[in-house]
Structures are given as C-alpha cells and as structure tokens.
Structure 1
Amino acid sequence: MPASPVADAAERSVSSGLSALWQRGTEFLGTRYAIMGGAMSWVSERHLVSAISNGGGFGVIACGSMPPALLEAEIAATQALTDRPFGVNLITMHPALDDLIAVCLRAKVGHVVLAGGVPSGSAVRAVKDGGAKLICFAPALVLARRLVRSGADALVIEGSEAGGHIGPVSLIVLAQEILPVVREVPVFVAGGLSRGEAIVGLLEMGAAGAQFGTMFAATSDSIAHPNFKKAFFRAHARDALPSVQLDERFPVIPVRGLANAGTRRFVEHQAETLRRFQAGEVNREQAQLSIEHFWAGALRRAVVDGDVELGSVMAGQSVGQVQEEKPVATVIGQLLDEAEALLATRGHSST
C-alpha cells in the first residue's frame, strides 16, 4: 500500500547510539523504532494500531472480549490501513482462546501477546507452531524465568504505574530485578513512561524497547471520546489511582484509573455489599459477584460514550504528561527527540 503522511513523517534516521541500544527490539518487532503500543480495550483498535505501526512503532490490537469473527474483521481492517508489523493481544482466560489464536495465525499476524495470566502449554504451542512470535507479560523474576522456559519469545515487564489492570511492583524495581538477569529473550518495559530519556536509561539497563499506553490513548488517532481525552488533559499523576479493596475476603483486581464519582461509588458499593453479607442477606459468592460486576461495561461507558464521571477512565501515572491532543507520529517524534538529545550529550553519533 502507498505510504501515508504518518508513515512519511516516521522515515527519519536515528543515531547509531540509539540504533545499537534497541537493535534487539527493532529486529524482533520488525520495526524502525522499538516503541510498542499498549493494548487498551476499546482504544487499541484499527485506527490507533495502524497509526503507531505507520509511525515506525509497533501497534497492538486489544482483543479483550471480542469473539473470533469480530477479531478477524478487526485484523483485516488494520491490515487495510498498514502494511507494517503489528500484534494482537489475547486474554488467556478468554473462553474462545484457541479459536482466537487460529484467527491470528490465518491472518498471518506475526506477533501474538498472551496476557492476563500464565498461558497454557497448548496455547504456547499453538502460537509457536503456527509461526507467530509469542510475547508474554512477566510481573516477577520467577515468572519471567518460567515463561522463557515455556517458550515465550519476548517479555513485557509492566510496572504498577501503568493504567488498567496492574501488578503490585513498580517498573523501576522490576527493571532492576529482571533486566540484568533475563538475557535469553528481548524484554520490553512499560508503566509510567512518558519521555525519551527514560527509554534510553532502561535500554542501557538491558531493555529491548518500551511500551506506551496512556501517551497514545489521547492522541488524535485514538477513537476515544473527546470527554475521555479531556479528562487526561486535566489530570495529574496523583489522580491516577488503583482501585480500593475494603475487605481481603472479597478481593478486588487492582485497576489504575482517574478518580471520579464511579470510583467513590465503588467503595460505597463494597461497603454496602459487606453490610449485606454480614447481615446474612447474601452469601459469599453472591457478594463477590456483586463486587466484580460493579464495573461491568464501565470502560466502554468512558471510552465510547464519554461518561467520565461514572465510567472507568483507565490511565497510568504518566497521564500528567498528556496535556494536549497530538498525532501519534508527533508523540513518537518527541520521544525520539528526547532520547537523541540525551545521547548527544554523551558524544554518540547523530548519523
């Protein structure tokens, strides 16, 4: 397909220093820059994914709860917008995971990300036997080693600073724990990143590249509702908070998002559910389901419908650096400028 204006803007050379630092990542992804897009449900669809890939990075479709037929159509639509590499993120708990993997393989998707849990051996074999490269998330060193042994071709370590579903450990701790040790496969870093200097520092520690979600969610290439983007522009890092769990008997999967009326109501809903449980009005299973179902559809309400008061406005702590709507190509260009400026102070070649 002919190059788009976004693709033209991405055809810039990077310094030999930066090229060397992320060579392992660019070769693995097949891209000009080792910059990945995070898979964000309702946001990481054909338009944003193709814009990231056309911009020299690596876009990733967020399958989420899509059925196989819908994912097949989304992949085809993305391929119509870019001839550059992109991946697909699949949730390991999806009941149709095997069929979704088959969809990706039939469509010749080169990279499949299995997220949301440790993938089964059969899922790993299906991806690899089908000729795709497998990327997995590793929230701890012990799991990183296990995933490498099981066949992961690359890892993403995502810190708790990230938006959406998060683990308990910050990126800087994960980086120090995992990057010096896991050398068998490329390791990409994610969570709270917003500047090119941070990319350089983590590359120097051993990372193969970096993943960005929040920075891309509010770009002009994102289909997110204007209200969703404006909420980002108004926010500070301290506004992106993890969900609160009131009682350890009723666990809450931590999700980082902007505090709003919905998050306050969630705390009130947990308190009321606990009261009903203690009064014998509901049993433990009913109480847990009530808590889990509170946020059903809340992300779509925020991203698609624009309800940023009662919807779930998932955002990472880097949201404070998102102050205006820009094209994806501009965001990538700024990251490159910042990285190159730092390397220039160290005497690296600019050719």
Structure 2
Amino acid sequence: MKNYTRTTGLMQRGIDFLGSETAILCGAMSWVSERNLVSAISNAGGFGVIACGAMDPDLLDKEIAATRALTDKPFGVNLITMHPQLFDLIEVCEKHGVGHVVLAGGIPPKGSVEAIKGGANPAKVICFAPTLALAKKLLRSGADALVIEGMEAGGHIGPVSTSVLAQEMLPELAEEHLIFVAGGIGRGHAIAGYLEMGAAGVQLGTRFACATESIAHADFKKAFFRASARDAVASIQVDARLPVIPVRALKNKGTEEFTAKQREVAAVLDREEIAMAEAQLQIEHYWAGALRRAVIDGDVENGSLMAGQSVGMLKEEEPVAIIIDKLMAQSEDALTRR
C-alpha cells in the first residue's frame, strides 16, 4: 500500500488501537464476513471482523482457527449481545487470544464487558452507540471504542443518519475517546471528512460485500451491481408490541415476506403461545435464514439482500487490496486539495 501521509496521520489513534495499517474496519456481515474475507481485509491493511451471528461456540472456535491460518494480522470478532451463549462465545475468543471483540445488537448484558476485558487474554471492547446518551453510558461501562452507525447502513439500523450522528457525537466525544464512523460510506472522500471531524477511523460493510475474496454467490453480487441507492430500503414494523429493529436490504420478495413473518409472530403473541423474548428470537432466526439463502444459495428473489445505501456506488468485483487502496487514495486526494 502506498504512503498516504495525511490520511494515516488522522487515523493514527485508530491504527494504534487496532494494530492494523489503516483504521478501516469491515463491518460484520453474517455469512459474508467469514475467514476468507476477514483474512483478506486484515492482510491488505484493514481490520477484518468475523460475524459470529448465530454461530454456536464450536463453530466460532473453528472459524477463528481457520482465520488465524490465513492471516497473522489482527482481526476482531463480532458477538450479538442477545445470543443465548454469549459468555461461552466470549470464552472462545479468550481461548484464541482475539484482541478485539465487537458487541452488537443492544446494550451488553451485565458482566459481559468485564468478562471480555478481565480474562487470561483480555481483549478490547468495541460497542455500537446509536445515541449520545447511550454512547456515554457504554464508555462509562468499559467500552474501549465506539462505532456510531447511521441509518444509511445495511442490515440492522437505527433511525438517525450518519452525518447527523457524527455532528452530534464527534465534537463531544472524539477528543478523549476512540470513535469510528459507519453507515453510507462508499468512497474515501467521505472518510476524509469524518477523520477531519475527529473520527479515529471508519467502518464499511457494503463496499466489501462484493469483493473478489467475498464468498457471496455471484447472483448476490450481481444484484448489488444492478442496484441504486433507493433500492436499499428499510423494513417496516407492523406491530408496536414487537420491537423489531429495522433492517435495510434491497427490495425483493424477501422484504415482503418479512412483513408477513412479523404478522405471523404477532398473531402467536396474541394467543400467548410464546414469550416476547422468543418472538424476537424468531425474527432474528428469520433474518439469519433469509440472509443465507441470498448470500450462499444465490436466491436473490426470496433471500435477504442486506445492503446499505452506498450500494449504488458498487459497479464491479474488486480485490480487497484494491478497494482499500482506492479508499485511502480518495481520502488523501480530498485532504490534499483542502
């Protein structure tokens, strides 16, 4: 990778924290962010993150070991806070000496941050913060860094745009804390802007989903290349009692089926046949299955094509090393011109 002095200088805190050549993280995308893509990103100077998703501890154990066999560079593991075996998964990360654990999906349960940071192989904790109040709470609770992710992102999203979150949170937090910005970032020009605002680095998902090293099905990638920004739509909530986090994905039959799935689960709740926690878990299992159908099987009609609004900038398959180099070059160019 070439020498991008200005960009690297602004990223230095993030680089030191991650141990990578650049402070560019790859968002954890279920079925996509696995050993091949994660190792390729870390080898190319970025910071790959394994998407644990619904994996059990044995599967995660194998995935970390397989990733280690492909790279000697740092990478992280993303764990879902509502996973029923969260503490067992934390033990697997500790066993392998994973240096960074990313907690996503809600407020970390009691004792989880302490378990990650206090074991024989303590790791750094990165959390997602959708609001300033929650960001401050997470930092007080032991988070070493935060990702602020706007609604332009793919997958599970919050209600506020990246640009607004950055304006609200970076001036207040970035001087004393490590804040990474995510959501809607497709080019390095945007990276330059967030770095100038105080971000320690950035996270991109959609930009890497169709990389050459991504195992995503060819038809999945073609759907991304055909899509425009307006094709990546957020799911709707059909029942106020069912607190479903919106998901952004390319509109297809699968997005319509999710609406039907919510109605089905709400009806079961009406009959008091399941508890709320089980209802939410059913929704998460739906997404895991729908995502697998699209990513692995190539069912782009009925599967879930989770994508951020930056999808309109994707036009071709490129190696990870080229993607990272382009992002850094674009950022450097923007900073130089300024």
| Alignment TM-score, normalising by the size of structure 2 | 0.93
Other structure's SS at 2:220 match: helix
Q: Which residue is 2:255 aligned to? A: 263
Provide the rounded CA distance (Å) in 1 between the counterparts of 2:270 and 2:61. 41
Provide the rounded CA distance (Å) in 2 between the counterparts of 1:150 and 1:323. 42
Q: Does 1:149 find its partner at 2:161?
A: no
Q: Identify the range of structure 1 (145-154 vs 256-265) with the bigger mean alpha-carbon deviation.
A: 256-265
Provide the rounded CA distance (Å) in 1 between the counterparts of 2:299 and 2:132. 38
User: Are the aligned partners of 1:243 and 1:252 in contact in 2 as well (CA < 8 Å)?
Assistant: no
User: Cα distance 1:95–1:286, how it changes in 2: closer, same or farther (>3 A)?
Assistant: closer
Q: Which residue is 1:124 aligned to? A: 113
User: Are the aligned partners of 2:154 and 2:307 in contact in 1 as well (CA < 8 Å)?
Assistant: yes
Q: Which residue is 1:99 aligned to? A: 88
Q: Does 1:13 find its partner at 2:3?
A: yes
Provide the rounded CA distance (Å) in 1 between the counterparts of 2:131 and 2:20. 27
Cα offset, 1:203, TM superposition: 0.6
Q: Identify the range of structure 1 (28-37 vs 284-293) with the bigger mean alpha-carbon deviation.
A: 284-293
Q: Which residue is 2:165 aligned to? A: 174
- Measured against aligned partners, the alpha-carbon deviations of 1:10-38 in whole angstroms (never above 9, x if no partner) come to 3x2221x2222111111100111110000
Q: What does residue range 187-226 of structure 1 map to in structure 2 within 5 Å?
A: 187-226=179-218
Q: How many residues get paired?
A: 331
2:109 corresponds to which letter in structure 1? S
User: Cα distance 1:295–1:50, how it changes in 2: closer, same or farther (>3 A)?
Assistant: closer
Q: What does residue range 280-295 of structure 1 map to in structure 2 within 5 Å?
A: 283=271, 289=279, 292=283, 295=287
Query: How high is the sequence identity, in percent, across the aligned residues?
Result: 63
- Between structure 1 and structure 2, the one with the greater Rg is 1
Q: Which residue is 1:164 aligned to? A: 155
Q: Identify the range of structure 1 (231-240 vs 65-74) with the bigger mean alpha-carbon deviation.
A: 65-74
User: Are the aligned partners of 2:30 and 2:288 in contact in 1 as well (CA < 8 Å)?
Assistant: no
Q: Identify the range of structure 1 (114-123 vs 63-72) with the bigger mean alpha-carbon deviation.
A: 114-123
Q: Identify the range of structure 1 (283-292 vs 76-85) with the bigger mean alpha-carbon deviation.
A: 283-292
Q: Identify the range of structure 1 (243-252 vs 176-185) with the bigger mean alpha-carbon deviation.
A: 243-252
User: Are the aligned partners of 1:22 and 1:209 in contact in 2 as well (CA < 8 Å)?
Assistant: yes
Other structure's SS at 1:22 match: helix
Provide the rounded CA distance (Å) in 2 between the counterparts of 1:332 and 1:84. 16
User: Are the aligned partners of 1:121 and 1:150 in contact in 2 as well (CA < 8 Å)?
Assistant: no
Cα offset, 1:282, TM superposition: 5.7
What is the aligned counterpart of 2:38 among 13, 27, 49? Answer: 49
Cα offset, 1:336, TM superposition: 1.0
Cα offset, 1:121, TM superposition: 3.7
- Measured against aligned partners, the alpha-carbon deviations of 1:101-160 in whole angstroms (never above 9, x if no partner) come to 111111011111111111134111111112211111101000000011011110000001
Provide the rounded CA distance (Å) in 2 between the counterparts of 1:270 and 1:28. 40
User: Cα distance 1:294–1:98, how it changes in 2: closer, same or farther (>3 A)?
Assistant: closer
Cα offset, 1:271, TM superposition: 6.0
User: Are the aligned partners of 1:148 and 1:184 in contact in 2 as well (CA < 8 Å)?
Assistant: no
Q: Which residue is 1:74 aligned to? A: 63
Which sections of structure 2, spanning at least 5 residues, go unmatched?
Answer: none
